[in-house]
Every structure is written in structure tokens, then in C-alpha cells.
Structure 1
Amino acid sequence: MCRWLAYSGSPVRLDDLLYNPTNSLVMQSKHSKLGAETTNGDGFGVGWYGAGPTPGLFRSTEPAWHDRNLRELAAQASAGRVFAHIRATTGTAIQQTNCHPFRYGQWLWMHNGVLGDFLKVKRDLALAVDPSLYPLIEGSTDSEMFFYLALTFGLEEDPRAAVAEAVAYIEDTGLRHGVEHPVQMTVATTDGDTTWAFRYSSVGNARSLFISSDVATLQAQYPDHELLSGLSEDARLVVSEPLGDLYGAWQEVPEAACVVVHGGEQALYPFVPASPLPEAV
């Protein structure tokens, strides 16, 4: 379906995330090891927070491995919070407005997965989007619709609760239309200060998701590793699949879970659609 990464920490050059690791996101666009498809060549996008009032976006319908502009940008630009996504379409058009991340004000959103039988439920989901938000939907993907449902349910106030309500609404709608498994997802969203990442599936077998281990520990294990040596201790990566094979560098996020990353702190919560929110585990 897709692959993505969410980075936060000391500023890094984009090519240190997108090109230089042994299993970089650009490598995954051709040779994904854990994805539903090996190739994710239906466009890509990068979102980052810089000097402007809103995050920057660069999106293209080119395959990530083929885009010379991405190579040029990645070699020069650096940022302390980056969202990057490579796309494998589940049926909607290959166009820039369908490439992730999606942006609303300070917020970015990206999704790997599918809303089951989207065409069956699309109208009902669209009608549930707040009328003030609906005109801002530019593309035709289930992922962007999901984002605007989460915004409708209060993403800006309480992301965990909003995504839980949105998933519950999508599942209820899907079941009413005879969709057996309405939601398959890993989702990442950020306001530029905190990152929330979710792993969930209606069938109980969500796409892969990992978070990087504590940087100080990794720096002690691998003192000569060039990329690790330049990272701050609060640096964290949440990824669809590991960017490399350093032992101990990656922890799998469990099924039906939400990871919250703020600075160097991270918390893991169970994720249950539209139920009272549990405490961290």
C-alpha cells in the first residue's frame, strides 16, 4: 500500500532520512521488505517544519527513486521535524492532490492502509465532514477523507480521541454497507510539536510500524556510526519499516496501539475506537 516515516529531533538533512540509510524510504519505494507491495511508485511527498507559519510540502506523482528534484531538495534542506511518504495507490488517481502528507494549518497527516470498499462508504463519510472543512478536500483518496473526519471529530483538541472517534465512525459506516473489514491503517499526524502514530486494523492484522530506540543507548552501542553521532538525544523516528539493520535500533509498535512522541519522551497507549481513553502502558 504505502510506506512512511516521521522524524523529530535535531535538524537533519533530508537525504539522511530519504536516501542514505541502507533501507531508506527511497529504497523502499522499489524494494519494500514489509509492505503489502514491494513497489511503492505512485508518487511521494515530504512535509517539514521550517521558518514559515505552516509546514512546507513537496509532493510529486513521480516515483521517489526517479525524481531528480527530490534528490536536489534532500541534499540541501534540513529540518527538525519531517514527514515523508511513498505511495502505492489502492485505486484512486495518481495525482499530486492524492499524495501524502496532507496539510491543514499547522497539521500534517499521512496514512498507510485502506478504508475497505471506499466507494461504498464515500458519500456517507463525506457527509459527516464538517461543512466548513469539506471544501478544503482537494483529492479523491480515502486517506484525505479520513484526515478531515479526524479534524471534524476534534483532532486539533485531542488527537487520540479524535482518531478513535473517526475510526469508530468509519467502522460503523462500513458495517452498515456490508464491508467486512472497514479499516486498515497506520497513521501519523503532527502539529509541529508532538507526533501521534496509530496502528490498527478492523481484522486485527495492521500494517507494520516501528519506533526507534533511545538515541543515547544507540550512540553508546555504535560510537562510530556517522548518522547517530550527529543526532540529539531526543531524536525519534516512527517508520513503516526499519531504515537499517542495527541491532536494538527498532521496536515494533504493537497491534491496536498509539505512540505519542514529544521531545525525547514517548508514551504507548492502547488504541480502541471511540472508547474511554486508557492510560499509558
Structure 2
Amino acid sequence: MARLFGLIGNRADLAARVLASEADALRVHARGPGPGAKGGPLGWGMGFYQGGEVLIRRRPIDDRPEIDVAKNAHDVRADILIGHVRQATVGSLRTENTHPFRYRQWLFAQTGTVSRFDGIKERLAASVPEFLRGGIRGETDAEIVFHVFLSFLHDAGRLEDMSIEEGVVRDALRSTLSVVDGMTAEIGAEPGALNILVTNGDVIVALHRNDAMAYRQFSGKADADALIGDDLQLRRRAPELAHMHFVLLASDLEDASNAPAPASSKASLARWKKIPDRAIVTLTRGDDPKIEVL
């Protein structure tokens, strides 16, 4: 079982509360041996921006029967974050293979596998400029896909640009997908079912072409009051609640036990909105998600 999630908002002091409010949606249960199930431990990681720094937490092997994403982020103060829970498919369980991957201000995470990756791995890596290719440390398809994405930013002259436009990021993701699909088609493989999140600390762009992806918005004083509850100290430190805004996005929600809300609560489930299949989603602070069909 895997999980991919991203959070963006305008209140770093409330980010952990947002994640905790949807802990059930984000929690991942390890699958033991059995028909159609994969055994072995999971790994997880998350990346976020704090005080002008890019911070990453990774645990490549976690033997617990469930990964509580919200608990892992209980002390995070950040207004943008992406995270990943990994059931290894390509590459061993080690730090270099644990998402998210980083290049300077960029963070990248992926679920799903590039079809027949072994058949195109060398050519795909060779398509990346040498100065970027040298940064590939692990064995995963996701890390190489990330570096293909970076190469398109480089071609556009925007690799170092902190104030990059949303459209440039979307175009680089689309071009990356086109290259990967083209190479897999050449060896007679079907397009890979991938979900991707990428961020530079200013915008999150998601590509959805795998198991279910949905988002939930938290906006305004009523939602802020619900998040803060009876924590009077936090309430005193958190004025201007009417302008609070977060979007929480999660993917790989195909398991009913990990649906984006308890099945018994229709009201809670209704707060999540499913993203159409084969879509690209842009998340920016204070705005509703922008969804485009691929």
C-alpha cells in the first residue's frame, strides 16, 4: 500500500492540525502476506519548507503495522508540505530510494511504476543533462523521472527560478510524461499508471494517472475554529482566523479502509472532492485547486 499527499495553506501554525483532522484518510496499513498482497515493511518521507530552508524527514524502513502520517508531522510548522508512504516496487528500502527527492528548492514524490522500467532505464537517464544526472543516487524510476522533469526546467532556462510560473511547471510535467510514455511505447509497453507531486515551496503541481486522488479544502473561521478546538493558547496566538485557507490532497485511496474519510460518516466524506482520472492539478496558497484534463 502506498500513499501520496500534499498540503498548502497560509497558516504554518495550523498545518499539523489540518493533517491531524484527516489522520484516518492519510493512515496507511501495511499489507501482510496473502493472496494479492505484498509483505514486508513500508517506508515513508516528507519534505517541507521552514525558515527559508528545505527540510526532509525520511524513514526507509518502518516495521510498524500502520504508518500514521499525521503523527509523523505533529510538530511541523510549514505552509507547504509533500509526503509519501512507500511500498517498494523498484529499488531497495534505503534512504536514497525514499521519497520525496530533492534538487535545491524542488521536491518530488511519485506512486506507481514506469512500465517495463528496466527496458528504458539507461536511455531515460541518458536523456538527462550530465550535470543533473550526477545527482541521481538511488535505483528508483521515480528519481530518474524527477531528473527528466528538472531537465525540462533547465531547457526552459527556469531551473534556478524561485518565482517560476505555474504554467512552466505544468508544461515540464507534461513533457516528462510524454518522454516516458514515448520510450515505453517503443518497447511495446503500456503507459505507466503514475501519480506525481512536485513543489518548489511556492506551488504544488500534481499529476494524476493512477489510483484515486481527492482533495479537501479548509477555509474560513468555522474550519479554523474546528481545527483549534479548545486549545486556548493556540487560539490566542492565531488571530485573523477568517482568512485561513488550506488544501489537502491525497492519492492512492483505492483501499476502502483508507478512503478519504470513515465510511460511516457521509458528511465527512462529502468534504473530499474526487479529481477526474488523467488530470493535472495546481495548488497555490489561498486559491481553489486548478484542475485540467491531461
Shorter-chain TM range is 0.7 to 0.9
Query: Aligned equivalents of 1:186 and 1:212: distance in 2?
Result: 17
Tell me the residue number matched to 1:105. Answer: 104
**1:167 is the counterpart of 2:171:** no
Alpha-carbon separation, structure 1, partners of 2:39 and 2:260: 16
Residue number in structure 1 paired with 2:114: 115
Distance 1:178 1:141, change over 3 A: same
Question: Which digits, 9 at most, give the CA deviation of each residue in 1:27-79, with x for residues without a partner?
Answer: 21437xxxx968894310010100144x10111112274799x9986343321
Checking the alignment, whether the CA contact within 8 Å between 2:8 and 2:80 is kept in structure 1 is yes
8 Å CA contact 2:5–2:250 kept in 1: the answer is: yes
Q: Which has the larger radius of gyration?
A: 2
Change (3 A) 1:170 1:6: same
1:254 aligns with 2:276: yes
Alignment-mate amino acid for residue 197 of structure 1:
A
Three-state SS of the structure 1 residue aligned to 2:134 is helix
3-state SS of paired residue (2:270): coil
Matched-pair identity in %:
23
Residue 45 of structure 1 aligns to which amino acid in structure 2? G
Q: What pairs with 1:69-218 in structure 2 (closer than 5 Å)?
A: 74-154=73-153, 156=159, 158-179=168-189, 181-200=190-209, 206-213=210-217, 215-216=219-220
Q: Output one character per residue of 1:190-226: Cα deviation in whole Å (capped at 9) or x when no partner.
A: 11011111112xxxxx21111113524xx65x78733
Deviation at 1:24, TM superposition (A): 4.6
Q: Which of 265, 268, 271 is residue 291 of structure 2 equivalent to?
A: 268
Partner Cα separation in structure 2 for residue 64 and residue 197 of structure 1: 29
2:245: which partner in 1? Answer: 234
- What is the aligned partner in structure 2 of residue 276 from structure 1? none
CA-to-aligned-CA distance 1:217-252 (integer Å, 9 cap, x gap) = xx65x7873369987532111111455341421111
Superposed CA RMSD in Å reads 3.2
Correspondence for 1:244: 261
Q: 1:224 to 1:48 in 2, by over 3 A?
A: closer
d(CA) in 2 for partners of 1:168, 1:59: 30
Q: In 1, Cα distance between the equivalents of 2:205 and 2:40?
A: 23
Residues matched between the structures, number? 255
CA distance 1:3–1:39, change in 2 (3 Å): farther
Preserved CA contact (<8 Å) 1:46 1:57: yes
- State the distance in 2 between where 1:187 and 1:40 align: 24
Q: Call closer, same or farther: CA 1:130–1:190 in 2, change over 3 Å.
A: same
Whether contact under 8 Å (2:61, 2:93) holds in the other structure is no
Taking the aligned partners of 1:64 and 1:45, their CA distance within structure 2 comes to 14
Higher helix share: 2
Letter aligned with residue 261 of structure 2: G
Where do 5+ consecutive residues of structure 1 fail to align? 201-205, 272-281
Structure 1 72/244 Cα, relative in aligned 2: closer, same or farther at 3 Å?
closer
Compared CA separation, residues 267 and 38, structure 1 to 2 (3 A): farther
Change (3 A) 1:160 1:103: same
The 1-side partners of 2:40 and 2:18 are apart by 17
Assess if the C-alpha contact under 8 Å between 1:59 and 1:100 holds in 2.
yes
Instruction: Report if aligned partners of 1:41, 1:86 keep a CA contact under 8 Å in 2.
Output: no
Q: Which amino acid aligns with 1:199?
A: H
TM-score (norm 2): 0.76
**1:5 corresponding residue in structure 2:** 5
2 CA distance for matches of 1:23 and 1:43? Answer: 18
